[in-house]
Amino acid sequence: MSPVVSVVMAVLDGERFLEQAVQSVLDETLTDLELVVVDDGSTDATADILARFAARDPRVVVHRHGNRGRPLSLNRGIELARAPLIARLDADDVSLPERLAGQAAFLERHEAVALAGGAVRLIDAGGHCFEQSSSPLTDAEIRRDFAYTCPFTHSAVMFRRTAFEQAGGYRALNDAEDIDLWLRIAERHELANLAQPVVSYRVHREQASIAGCEMQALGAVAARFAARERAGGRPDPLHGADHVDEDWLRARGVSAGEIAMTVVKSQVWLANVIARAGGTAQAEALLQAAQVRARGAPDDGSLLALVHRARAARRYEQGRPVSARLERGKATLAQRRR
């Protein structure tokens, strides 16, 4: 008999936070679950950690293969999963105790909804919460926000297996495979977010790569462009694409303004959250990169002004008490990076 929910995780060299992530799933109030973990060719202690969990709890299913990247690893994990509902969790995040029960009950009550996310708690490397963020709740609000952000946190979603299969699964897209999949699911189904927090999303300095942030933003631009093309009855430009960069986008008519806006807002968002998580130097590097990009943007100076405001806000927050900074941190995911 299949479980109610399969939680699917892909991990590559995740020994630092993996144990806490796995244990959070096993501690869920909904116990009729399985956790399918795909080890994507780790060379650290990841395999040993997973083996210990699998030996203690039969709900933990481990699959290991050579490094293929997160999208293909997630597709493999979902192939192995047995439940009709699939929940995602990354190996550095923490599932909150009633997350699965709440999302599963919501999807049971709302048959037209195929994908449900939720609010998230942002935590630093030590597990301390420094911000709680919410997302648009209704299908109409989510569709509106897709134009300039990703209204779901990847680790916070639960979706129906049938909707995933109809959409064709994950595609490799610069770490933007999530928004690409959500947009394809949205073409057939309704979407929603729960108001309550469902995961603790970890922000740490290793995430603050300027190159990684820029490539992810370009992937998000490509996902939105592909969605517009499909909506217009034209072929999906991402079908068969093996590499997406700025030249690829410009060659297909995506405007320099859209590219600059997405990249700058992504870098500013990541700079803001990484600074609150203690990564001061990483935040400044991201803001410097955003400033360079904004100066060359074909806009009215609004992007450059955004960078200046972010830098000024950081200086202001650094002089405030910790309690005041936490209160300031209660922002919405409408300001997210993508």
Using H for helix, E for strand and C for coil, what is the string for 123-159? Answer: ECCCCCEEEEEECCCCHHHHHHHCCCCCCCCHHHCEE
Residue 289 has pLDDT above 80, yes or no: yes
The mean of the pLDDT values for the chain is 90
Please report the beta strands in the chain, taking only residues with DSSP state E, as ranges in sequence order. 5-11, 33-40, 60-65, 85-88, 94-95, 113-123, 129-133, 158-160, 190-202
Q: How confident is the model at residue 226 (pLDDT cuts 50, 70, 90)?
A: very high
Mean pLDDT for 86-108 is: 97
Q: Is 255 helix (H, G, I), strand (E, B) or coil?
A: coil
Count of CB atoms situated within 10 Å of the CB of 108? 10
Same domain? For 20 and 147 the reply is yes
Q: Please tell me the total count of domains within the chain.
A: 2
Domain ends where: 182, 202, 222? 202
Same domain? For 44 and 108 the reply is yes
pLDDT value, residue 331: 44
Instruction: Tell me the residue range of the domain where 108 lies.
Output: 5-202
Tens of pLDDT, residue by residue over 14-67, are: 999 999 999 999 999 999 999 999 999 999 999 999 999 999 999 999 999 999
Q: How confident is the model at residue 89 (pLDDT cuts 50, 70, 90)?
A: very high
Domain ends where: 202, 231, 266? 202
Residue 150 in domain:
yes
Same domain? For 179 and 224 the reply is no
Domain CATH code at residue 132: 3.90.550.10
Tell me if 171 sits within 8 A of 177, measured CB to CB: yes
Domain ends where: 171, 202, 233? 202
Tell me if 9 sits within 8 A of 91, measured CB to CB: yes
Same domain? For 234 and 190 the reply is no
Same domain? For 168 and 223 the reply is no
Same domain? For 52 and 174 the reply is yes
Tell me if 146 sits within 8 A of 186, measured CB to CB: yes
pLDDT value, residue 326: 45
